[in-house]
Copies of this chain bind each other. A is one copy, B any other.
Amino acid sequence: MHMSELDRMIARLMTQRICLDHAARELAAREGSVLEVGLGKARTFDHLRALFPDRTLYAFDFEVHAPKRLVPPQASLFLGDFRETLPAAFDALGCSAALIHADIGSRDREADARLAADVAPMLDALLVPGGMVLTDRAMDDVGWQSVPLPDAAPGNWPYFMYRKTA
Protein backbone atom coordinates (compact mmCIF):
# COMPACT_ATOMS: atom_id res chain seq x y z
CA MET A 1 0.00 0.00 0.00
CA HIS A 2 1.20 3.51 -0.73
CA MET A 3 2.61 5.29 2.32
CA SER A 4 2.25 9.06 2.46
CA GLU A 5 5.04 11.17 3.91
CA LEU A 6 2.93 11.39 7.06
CA ASP A 7 2.63 7.59 7.20
CA ARG A 8 6.40 7.29 6.67
CA MET A 9 7.24 9.72 9.44
CA ILE A 10 4.91 7.97 11.88
CA ALA A 11 6.36 4.55 10.97
CA ARG A 12 9.90 5.88 11.43
CA LEU A 13 9.29 7.55 14.79
CA MET A 14 7.23 4.64 16.19
CA THR A 15 9.91 2.13 15.17
CA GLN A 16 12.62 4.31 16.71
CA ARG A 17 10.79 4.69 19.98
CA ILE A 18 9.89 1.03 20.34
CA CYS A 19 13.46 -0.05 19.62
CA LEU A 20 15.00 2.55 21.94
CA ASP A 21 12.63 1.68 24.78
CA HIS A 22 13.50 -2.00 24.26
CA ALA A 23 17.24 -1.28 24.28
CA ALA A 24 16.91 0.74 27.49
CA ARG A 25 15.43 -2.31 29.23
CA GLU A 26 18.05 -4.64 27.73
CA LEU A 27 20.91 -2.39 28.83
CA ALA A 28 19.63 -1.58 32.34
CA ALA A 29 22.44 -3.55 33.99
CA ARG A 30 25.17 -2.60 31.51
CA GLU A 31 27.17 0.50 32.43
CA GLY A 32 28.18 3.01 29.79
CA SER A 33 27.34 6.25 28.05
CA VAL A 34 24.82 6.83 25.24
CA LEU A 35 25.79 8.23 21.85
CA GLU A 36 23.33 9.91 19.47
CA VAL A 37 24.93 9.88 16.02
CA GLY A 38 22.81 12.25 13.93
CA LEU A 39 21.26 14.77 16.30
CA GLY A 40 18.82 16.23 13.76
CA LYS A 41 15.94 18.00 15.50
CA ALA A 42 17.05 16.43 18.82
CA ARG A 43 13.65 14.83 19.37
CA THR A 44 15.21 11.41 19.84
CA PHE A 45 18.01 12.89 21.94
CA ASP A 46 15.35 14.27 24.25
CA HIS A 47 13.79 10.79 24.44
CA LEU A 48 17.20 9.27 25.25
CA ARG A 49 17.55 11.81 28.06
CA ALA A 50 14.26 10.59 29.52
CA LEU A 51 15.19 6.91 29.07
CA PHE A 52 18.71 7.28 30.52
CA PRO A 53 18.50 10.03 33.17
CA ASP A 54 21.63 8.83 34.98
CA ARG A 55 23.95 8.34 32.03
CA THR A 56 26.26 10.66 30.13
CA LEU A 57 24.92 11.41 26.66
CA TYR A 58 26.93 12.61 23.67
CA ALA A 59 25.59 13.86 20.35
CA PHE A 60 27.14 13.98 16.89
CA ASP A 61 26.06 15.90 13.82
CA PHE A 62 27.47 17.79 10.88
CA GLU A 63 25.95 20.98 12.23
CA VAL A 64 23.23 21.97 14.69
CA HIS A 65 19.66 21.98 13.32
CA ALA A 66 17.86 21.47 16.61
CA PRO A 67 16.00 24.12 18.65
CA LYS A 68 18.33 25.71 21.21
CA ARG A 69 16.44 24.40 24.24
CA LEU A 70 17.11 20.81 23.09
CA VAL A 71 20.77 21.13 22.11
CA PRO A 72 23.17 19.42 24.52
CA PRO A 73 25.99 21.42 26.12
CA GLN A 74 29.05 22.14 24.00
CA ALA A 75 31.16 19.61 25.92
CA SER A 76 28.77 16.78 24.90
CA LEU A 77 28.56 17.78 21.26
CA PHE A 78 30.81 16.60 18.43
CA LEU A 79 30.23 18.70 15.32
CA GLY A 80 31.56 17.88 11.85
CA ASP A 81 31.90 14.87 9.56
CA PHE A 82 31.17 11.61 11.44
CA ARG A 83 34.30 10.12 9.85
CA GLU A 84 36.34 12.68 11.79
CA THR A 85 34.30 13.24 14.92
CA LEU A 86 33.86 9.55 15.80
CA PRO A 87 37.62 8.88 15.94
CA ALA A 88 38.02 12.15 17.89
CA ALA A 89 35.37 10.92 20.32
CA PHE A 90 37.25 7.65 20.72
CA ASP A 91 40.42 9.59 21.55
CA ALA A 92 38.50 11.57 24.17
CA LEU A 93 36.19 8.92 25.61
CA GLY A 94 37.70 5.54 24.77
CA CYS A 95 35.61 2.40 24.62
CA SER A 96 32.76 3.51 26.90
CA ALA A 97 29.36 3.52 25.15
CA ALA A 98 26.60 1.09 26.15
CA LEU A 99 24.22 2.30 23.45
CA ILE A 100 24.78 3.98 20.12
CA HIS A 101 21.80 5.27 18.18
CA ALA A 102 22.87 6.09 14.62
CA ASP A 103 20.21 7.60 12.41
CA ILE A 104 22.34 8.41 9.41
CA GLY A 105 19.99 7.65 6.53
CA SER A 106 19.35 10.11 3.71
CA ARG A 107 17.46 9.64 0.45
CA ASP A 108 20.73 8.56 -1.24
CA ARG A 109 20.98 4.84 -0.52
CA GLU A 110 24.43 4.40 -2.11
CA ALA A 111 26.02 7.26 -0.18
CA ASP A 112 24.34 5.91 2.97
CA ALA A 113 25.82 2.43 2.40
CA ARG A 114 29.31 3.92 2.03
CA LEU A 115 28.86 6.03 5.16
CA ALA A 116 27.55 3.04 7.13
CA ALA A 117 30.54 0.93 6.05
CA ASP A 118 32.93 3.72 7.06
CA VAL A 119 31.44 4.51 10.45
CA ALA A 120 30.54 0.99 11.65
CA PRO A 121 34.14 0.14 12.73
CA MET A 122 34.38 3.56 14.42
CA LEU A 123 31.19 2.85 16.36
CA ASP A 124 32.54 -0.60 17.23
CA ALA A 125 35.66 0.97 18.79
CA LEU A 126 33.45 3.14 21.02
CA LEU A 127 31.07 0.33 22.04
CA VAL A 128 31.60 -1.74 25.18
CA PRO A 129 31.20 -5.54 24.92
CA GLY A 130 27.48 -6.32 25.35
CA GLY A 131 26.57 -2.84 24.17
CA MET A 132 23.96 -2.21 21.48
CA VAL A 133 23.71 -0.27 18.22
CA LEU A 134 20.35 0.88 16.81
CA THR A 135 20.49 2.28 13.32
CA ASP A 136 18.42 3.03 10.23
CA ARG A 137 21.09 1.61 7.90
CA ALA A 138 22.44 -1.95 7.84
CA MET A 139 25.87 -2.49 9.43
CA ASP A 140 26.36 -6.21 8.94
CA ASP A 141 30.12 -6.43 8.44
CA VAL A 142 31.50 -5.57 11.88
CA GLY A 143 30.78 -8.89 13.54
CA TRP A 144 27.93 -7.62 15.69
CA GLN A 145 25.08 -9.98 16.48
CA SER A 146 21.83 -9.00 14.78
CA VAL A 147 18.96 -8.57 17.27
CA PRO A 148 15.36 -9.04 16.07
CA LEU A 149 13.14 -5.96 16.39
CA PRO A 150 10.58 -6.08 19.23
CA ASP A 151 7.20 -7.55 18.26
CA ALA A 152 5.59 -4.17 18.90
CA ALA A 153 7.55 -2.55 16.05
CA PRO A 154 5.12 -1.62 13.28
CA GLY A 155 7.03 -3.68 10.69
CA ASN A 156 6.70 -1.13 7.89
CA TRP A 157 9.97 0.66 8.49
CA PRO A 158 13.49 -0.73 8.03
CA TYR A 159 15.50 -0.58 11.22
CA PHE A 160 18.45 -2.51 12.61
CA MET A 161 19.45 -3.60 16.11
CA TYR A 162 22.83 -5.12 16.91
CA ARG A 163 24.66 -6.33 20.00
CA LYS A 164 28.43 -6.48 20.36
CA THR A 165 29.23 -9.92 21.69
CA ALA A 166 30.84 -9.84 25.12
Contact = CB atoms under 8 A, between A and B. Distances in A.
A10 interface: yes
A63 interface: no
A13 B10 contact: yes
A45 to B, nearest CB: 8
Q: How many copies of this kind of chain does the complex include?
A: 2
Interface string A1-32: 01011111110011011000000000000000
Interface residues of A, number: 21
A17 B6 CA distance: 8
B13 A44 contact: no
Contact of A46 (B5, B13, B47): B5
A13 B2 contact: no
Contacts of A41: 5
A88 interface: no
A5 to B, nearest CB: 4
A10 B50 CA distance: 16
Interface string A63-105: 0000000100000000000000000000000000000000000
Contact of A17 (B7, B43, B47, B70): B7
A29 B42 CA distance: 42
